[in-house]
Structure 1
Amino acid sequence: MFDRQMKGCLLPVATTRSEWSTTGYSESYARQMIVSFGNRIGGLREFPHTLDFKVWGLFEVCRDVKATEERSFGGMYCLSDNVWGTCFPDSCNGTEVQFILNESGIAISDNVYCVKDIPFRTGDYVAIVICSIIAGLMILGTACDVIWQWNLKRKIKRSEEIANMDTIKEELIKYKSTVDELKKNTPGVLGRVLISFSVVANGRKLLNTSSGSSGTISSINGVRVISMMWIMLGHSYYFSYRSVGDFKYILTEVTKRFSYLGLLNTFFGVDTFFLLSGCLVCYVTLKQLHKTKGRLNWFLFYFHRWWRLTPAFGLMLLIWSTLTLHLGSGPIHDQNVLESQELCHEYWWATILYFHNLYPWPASLSICMDWVWYLCCDMQLFILSPFFIILLYKSPKVGTFMVGTFTVISIAIVAGLATYFGYPLTADPTFYNDNLPLGYDHIYPTPWGHLQSYLVGIYLGYVLCRLDGRKIKINKWFNLIMWCVAIGSGLAVVYGQYPALQGNHPDQWVAALYQSVTKFAFVTAVAWVIFACATGNGGPVDSLLSWSAWSPLSHLTYCAYLVHPIVMYTYYWREKLR
């Protein structure tokens, strides 16, 4: 009846059943394996109260059964249909576990994943070597930096002593000698490369709270940090939904609260970053064009951007594709990590070249490092930015017209896609039709979905560059009205869906209108805040956003963006009890 190849699984299973029937509730490996099973009956009883099918059982108890001299097998935890935990001998595989359960009268689909110890692979060792080299360079660079700084201070102290000498001639001769010695002790190319890895030197730059030059838009630091905190708050919710034990409470209570919309709509914080990206690119590039009278090395323009983003991104991609698998274990940890790593191994080149959000098509958030769609989208918009920047530099009227035209086109594209594919409000998960396959998205991870936000940023950068740091006096009543409009627009965008939370579903045209114009409305409100603060019309808001304490945190937002999903996924996927 059974295939001979299954004997390696069936015999240990039979032995375990025999041991269980013989020893009953005595302390034995069989009891340890049996009690590790998730309680399906209890799960079905609890489901009406929790809406949670998951009965994962005892993960560690199962895996704690080890092979001995008398017994050739240990315990292996298997998860069926992602909801039911079982414990079988480690000589079995997923197919055999599925067969045994089905033959026992328990209907199981083809989704049976058995957790086994996965040895370190070649890529894992490569990642360890690269990380070790970087750590070694940090230690060596820090040591070189400390020694060089100590030597420099010693030389400066000596020069000060020389300056106190009475004889001018001797002072000049010895001072010149000291300066020559200082020059000799200046780090060469190799020294500067090593010091670039110094924890002390980099820490000094990161913790620097100075606002920089007079043309710096200091309020951007506060906007950047607050937006990143908002996004991380949203991710802590989105990433943890599979770990919620009482999902019915979340669905029926939490998601009906007015305050929940502030958590649900954190993706508007992402569009704030598109606004900031467009603003800074245009602002800095226009200043450079004015300085060089329209000449710019466009190859370096693009290469500098790629080189600035890619090393940290590449390192995180390497760690996610290799070492993350060994950072934890659990019923869903290995399975989820391996699925993502498989995508990374297949499409790493598209990821590092910043078009993985569009390839393979149709667009989906189920990609390698699914949060880096933003980087891909931002890079694609950055590639397009010179078209608008050059027009604004050479002919402001034409440039303004083109920025406005493409903003309208972007809004129209989103409206058309939202209508055709039946996109709902974010507070209402029910699509208006079935035109969009499940798991795909033609708006959110795409450049045309965020072009409007980027163009608002480009035009803001153009306006601020024209002002060149000058403060302007705005009528206090007009200023007050603009602040009220900006605050009202932002709040309406984030919290305007409250009726949908209460079950009042709008017509499709309302949902399409919301999908198409809300990003523009929100980033325009944020643009006003930055403009008002930069021109001296921000009042206490400017004092808050320009607070020097935001500066070091602002320097860390890019790495925080890259790292925090890895930390969150690892934490939530390591859950073992349910």
Structure 2
Amino acid sequence: MKYVYLISCLVCVFVPFSDGEWMMRNEANFASAFKEREHEMHKVFDSPLIHDLIEKERSYPLTAETLMTEERFAMKVLEDSDTIYSQLEGEVLARCLADIGTYLGNLSDGASYAWQMRTSGGSFGRLATIAYTWRLEYPGIYELCIDTKKKHPEAPFETIYCTEHLPLDDNIFVSKGRCLPASCTDEDLYIIFNTIFAVIGLEFWIGSFYTCIRDVPWEWDAIFVACLLGVFGLIVALGTFYDIAYRRRRLCAASTSIELQTKTPKSEEKNDDVESNEKLDANGGSDVPMKHQSKQQLYMTSEEETELETNQTETKVQTPRPSVGRLETLISSCSAIYTADKILSAKKSASSLACLNGIRVLSMFWIIWGHCNNFIIYQRLDNLKYLVEDVVNRYWFNSTLFASYSVDTFFVLSGLLVTYLTLKELQARNGKMNWPLYYIHRFWRLTPAYMMTIAFFTSLKVHIGTGADKVEIAGYESEPCREYWWTNLLYINNLYPFPGILGGCAGWSWYLANDMQFFIISPLFILLLFHRKTSKVGVVSVWLVCLASCIVTAFLTGYYGVPLGKSITYYNDRLAELEPDGSNSDIIYGKPYCRIQSYMVGMFVGYMLYRHFHMKKINMHWMTCTVSWFFAIGIMYTLLYALHPTGGREEPLPQWFSAVWGGVCRTLWSMGVAWVAFACCTGRGGLINSFLSWSFWTPMARLTYGAYLLHPIIIFGFLRTKKILFHWTYPEMVMFTCGSVVLSYIAALLLSIFIEGPTMGLEKAILRKKK
């Protein structure tokens, strides 16, 4: 019978209990993450112990007499109750112990409330069946558990839903839902049940621990963040009321008065409009000095720069508006209606850079799709074996496995826009620029929303939703933020602590640190590119930095033996020997000296666009253009799909090839993206440009920054509070991703209205000139 108990306790799935670092570690290589997961599961189910248990399991039919059901467990506990109580004597858990004893006794007697508790718990199946599915968890029915007292007033106690983690070895556990008395703490359950397991002979269950879903107490930091959000909400509410009750009416009356005073005959007005439109068409919508812009418009982030280019035409023909004071500028920016109107406007413009909106938004969709698939392999999935052995090995799934190239697309766009618009402004101002304001605006534009996201991630997310995983893992993930939040504020979280894990606090924020660091050094290259005497030096400098980044990346890839493609076997143990994070250390993916190559490619294309529109138009033979399109599409296709066979190779590819590929792959991808951007901006994109310049992308492009900040929180908020298992199918994943996209952009809109609007309004009010 003892062996039957062993079989029954192992008829389950073995789940590596997350240490909280996998999200940061595996974002760097989605393909490696999926193959690592497959390797972990094979290691468990291909072991001699499991094979032996499965063979012996066949001689024990699944009947009430041979399974360690909850009822039989209760009977065994009651039989040995004297021994159990004697061993627990003196422990400060009398209430919990009494309630558990009452529950087990009533379950044995067939009490209705006890059977509801038992039914709401998870149930194991055969080990052989689980070996074919790799089902990770056996959750019960949360609502059925917590509703016990309501449905059965005679129940002697309130109930709480818990997850029982049963150990197989040091870091592999079995997980199962259980409904238990609410009087028990996690520590009480650990002591009581491990004592019971030892007494009744379930040695393999000794070491089990419990995580129960209960309300998390509000700490001072959570209260502070909630109050801060409330203050911003109040400010926006007051700003919106002012906008509706006073500002819009005053502007409407003033505009009417101005139109009556400056009214011209219709024929004259029509001729002026035609002349204006002809001028715009002749210059591609971008060859007009930017003297009409305010200072704060000169130092924008990528999202703002795209918005500026998209709306330039509209700005030129607007009806004059009455001047407003600093206070009214601030109050207006706090209006939800005012901010939403600016963001959601999708008016068609003559901007030559409108295609960048489509590239930006589609890349964000790709990132969210990749994260949804990558994150779910460590969450509540009931067909993991099908996903990592079947779906992952399909040819077209490589676009998901190598979705990290989408981040290089963002670097290209960022370098392109910073270079192009800064050069354009330098020309309009005869080479003069307020460089302190250049940096101040960038920092102020990004940081408030960024810091509020981290504050929410650290303090408030644990109070939203209900789930056993959320409380435990969220607490672990909050620790780096509590200790190193200041590195995010200074945008050095990809460098300190060194080498560290990817991103440190809020792992996906590594991108923001890199982008800010590249922005800080960008004037060194832009000034060289602007002056005619040094422009060639500037171009050479850009490509030298790009080449140096490729060499450094190739060296680090080779030195640390980083595997290529879907392979998970490192060529040496140098990375595992790093302190203190070992193989979790980020030595390549998030480091600026390895990622600047894409930004440099973007800077070069930005310079070429500036020359095309503001110096000398770049002519290109149609054959050259066609070959460039084939090269760009071909190289990007190759980077996505050439490594498809690496997952099934018994022998890894040569280490030198892995190093070279790792060094140049991101530059090659960036060159492909750069050509698409250049061709579409200069009228060589055809239908592709028409699609990418579609006005539908315009408002979404303005929200991309917020969507990037918030989408991991939304994905994890769903997965870690999900009370049933997720079944991977293409329709399920498409719906999950679409839902994540929609919610991410809605959250980004709220972030813009409540945080970015007031903070940007404050900057405008401070920096605007008096009239």
- TM-score, scaled to structure 1: 0.88
Q: What does residue 13 of structure 1 align with?
A: 100
Describe the shift of the 1:440–1:62 C-alpha distance in structure 2 as closer, same or farther (beyond 3 A): farther
Q: 1:484: Cα distance to partner? A: 0.4
Describe the shift of the 1:127–1:43 C-alpha distance in structure 2 as closer, same or farther (beyond 3 A): farther
Q: What does residue 342 of structure 2 align with?
A: 205
Asked whether the 8 Å contact 1:218–1:546 carries over to 2, the reply is: yes
Q: What does residue 176 of structure 2 align with?
A: 84
Of 441-450 and 56-65, more deviation after overlay is shown by 56-65
Distance in 1 of aligned mates of 2:179 and 2:360 = 48
Aligned with 1:119: secondary structure? Answer: coil
Deviations 1:46-94 (A, max 9, x none): 3211112322333333344459898355334134147233343333333
Aligned with 1:83: secondary structure? Answer: strand
Asked whether the 8 Å contact 2:450–2:709 carries over to 1, the reply is: yes
Describe the shift of the 1:151–1:295 C-alpha distance in structure 2 as closer, same or farther (beyond 3 A): closer
Deviations 1:298-344 (A, max 9, x none): 32222111111112212222222222122211131222222222322
Describe the shift of the 1:78–1:472 C-alpha distance in structure 2 as closer, same or farther (beyond 3 A): same
Matched, 1:225 2:390: no
Of 328-337 and 467-476, more deviation after overlay is shown by 467-476
Describe the shift of the 1:471–1:428 C-alpha distance in structure 2 as closer, same or farther (beyond 3 A): same
Matched, 1:510 2:657: yes
State how 1:535-550 maps to structure 2 within 5 Å.
Answer: 535-550=682-697
Describe the shift of the 1:128–1:73 C-alpha distance in structure 2 as closer, same or farther (beyond 3 A): same
Q: What does residue 714 of structure 2 align with?
A: 567
Describe the shift of the 1:95–1:422 C-alpha distance in structure 2 as closer, same or farther (beyond 3 A): farther
Q: What does residue 64 of structure 2 align with?
A: none
Describe the shift of the 1:544–1:507 C-alpha distance in structure 2 as closer, same or farther (beyond 3 A): same
Distance in 2 of aligned mates of 1:527 and 1:449 = 18
State how 1:417-432 maps to structure 2 within 5 Å.
Answer: 417-432=556-571
Q: What does residue 396 of structure 1 align with?
A: 535
Asked whether the 8 Å contact 2:355–2:689 carries over to 1, the reply is: yes
Deviations 1:101-157 (A, max 9, x none): 433124354764333211333333323322222222223222322332223323444
1:139 to 199, 219, 237: 237
Q: 1:557: Cα distance to partner? A: 0.9
Of 57-66 and 312-321, more deviation after overlay is shown by 57-66
Asked whether the 8 Å contact 1:471–1:535 carries over to 2, the reply is: no
Q: 1:163: Cα distance to partner? A: 8.2
Distance in 1 of aligned mates of 2:131 and 2:323 = 72
1:47 to 130, 135, 142: 130
Distance in 1 of aligned mates of 2:373 and 2:155 = 48
Describe the shift of the 1:545–1:162 C-alpha distance in structure 2 as closer, same or farther (beyond 3 A): closer
1:114 to 212, 219, 228: 212
Asked whether the 8 Å contact 1:8–1:91 carries over to 2, the reply is: yes
Describe the shift of the 1:162–1:373 C-alpha distance in structure 2 as closer, same or farther (beyond 3 A): closer
Describe the shift of the 1:407–1:156 C-alpha distance in structure 2 as closer, same or farther (beyond 3 A): closer
Q: What does residue 513 of structure 2 align with?
A: 376
Matched, 1:412 2:412: no
Letter in 1 for 2:630: C
Describe the shift of the 1:155–1:534 C-alpha distance in structure 2 as closer, same or farther (beyond 3 A): closer
Distance in 1 of aligned mates of 2:479 and 2:146 = 25
Q: 1:571: Cα distance to partner? A: 1.0
Unaligned 5+ runs, structure 2? 1-86, 166-172, 264-318, 576-581, 726-771
Describe the shift of the 1:288–1:211 C-alpha distance in structure 2 as closer, same or farther (beyond 3 A): farther
Deviations 1:225-247 (A, max 9, x none): 11111111111212222232100
Distance in 1 of aligned mates of 2:257 and 2:428 = 41
Distance in 1 of aligned mates of 2:417 and 2:621 = 27
Describe the shift of the 1:32–1:232 C-alpha distance in structure 2 as closer, same or farther (beyond 3 A): same
2:387 to 234, 247, 250: 250
1:528 to 665, 675, 678: 675
Describe the shift of the 1:246–1:451 C-alpha distance in structure 2 as closer, same or farther (beyond 3 A): same
Q: What does residue 468 of structure 1 align with?
A: 613
Of 2-11 and 274-283, more deviation after overlay is shown by 2-11
Q: 1:159: Cα distance to partner? A: 6.0
Q: 1:522: Cα distance to partner? A: 0.5
Letter in 2 for 1:153: C
Distance in 2 of aligned mates of 1:360 and 1:82 = 34
State how 1:276-315 maps to structure 2 within 5 Å.
Answer: 276-315=413-452
Deviations 1:402-443 (A, max 9, x none): 222221221111112211222222422333333322322211
Letter in 1 for 2:612: L
Distance in 2 of aligned mates of 1:157 and 1:98 = 75
Describe the shift of the 1:155–1:455 C-alpha distance in structure 2 as closer, same or farther (beyond 3 A): closer
Distance in 2 of aligned mates of 1:526 and 1:153 = 45
Letter in 1 for 2:216: I
Distance in 1 of aligned mates of 2:498 and 2:186 = 31
State how 1:148-159 maps to structure 2 within 5 Å.
Answer: 148-157=247-256
Describe the shift of the 1:79–1:338 C-alpha distance in structure 2 as closer, same or farther (beyond 3 A): farther
Distance in 1 of aligned mates of 2:228 and 2:256 = 40
Unaligned 5+ runs, structure 1? 165-181
Letter in 1 for 2:535: P
Asked whether the 8 Å contact 2:160–2:212 carries over to 1, the reply is: no
Aligned with 1:256: secondary structure? Answer: coil
Distance in 2 of aligned mates of 1:367 and 1:84 = 31
Distance in 2 of aligned mates of 1:440 and 1:90 = 41
Matched, 1:344 2:485: no
Aligned with 2:211: secondary structure? Answer: strand
Q: 1:499: Cα distance to partner? A: 1.3
Deviations 1:453-508 (A, max 9, x none): 01111111122222235653311111111110110001001111111234364222
1:354 to 480, 483, 491: 491
Q: 1:257: Cα distance to partner? A: 0.6
1:33 to 113, 117, 124: 117
Q: What does residue 467 of structure 2 align with?
A: 330
Asked whether the 8 Å contact 1:44–1:53 carries over to 2, the reply is: no
Of 350-359 and 488-497, more deviation after overlay is shown by 350-359
Asked whether the 8 Å contact 1:33–1:87 carries over to 2, the reply is: yes
Q: What does residue 631 of structure 2 align with?
A: 485
Asked whether the 8 Å contact 1:364–1:445 carries over to 2, the reply is: no
Q: What does residue 171 of structure 1 align with?
A: none
Deviations 1:174-228 (A, max 9, x none): xxxxxxxx999854322211110222222222233357686x5222112111111
Matched, 1:365 2:512: no
Of 190-199 and 119-128, more deviation after overlay is shown by 119-128
Matched, 1:439 2:531: no
Asked whether the 8 Å contact 1:331–1:575 carries over to 2, the reply is: no
Of 7-16 and 302-311, more deviation after overlay is shown by 7-16
Describe the shift of the 1:69–1:87 C-alpha distance in structure 2 as closer, same or farther (beyond 3 A): closer
Of 66-75 and 491-500, more deviation after overlay is shown by 66-75
Describe the shift of the 1:16–1:563 C-alpha distance in structure 2 as closer, same or farther (beyond 3 A): same
Describe the shift of the 1:185–1:547 C-alpha distance in structure 2 as closer, same or farther (beyond 3 A): closer
Matched, 1:519 2:666: yes
Matched, 1:497 2:643: yes
Asked whether the 8 Å contact 1:56–1:331 carries over to 2, the reply is: no
Distance in 1 of aligned mates of 2:228 and 2:164 = 34
Deviations 1:532-572 (A, max 9, x none): 12222222222222223322221111111122222211111
**What is the count of residue pairs matched by the alignment?**
556
Distance in 2 of aligned mates of 1:517 and 1:424 = 15
Letter in 2 for 1:14: G
Aligned with 1:568: secondary structure? Answer: helix
Distance in 2 of aligned mates of 1:249 and 1:54 = 16
Matched, 1:269 2:406: yes
Distance in 1 of aligned mates of 2:175 and 2:672 = 44
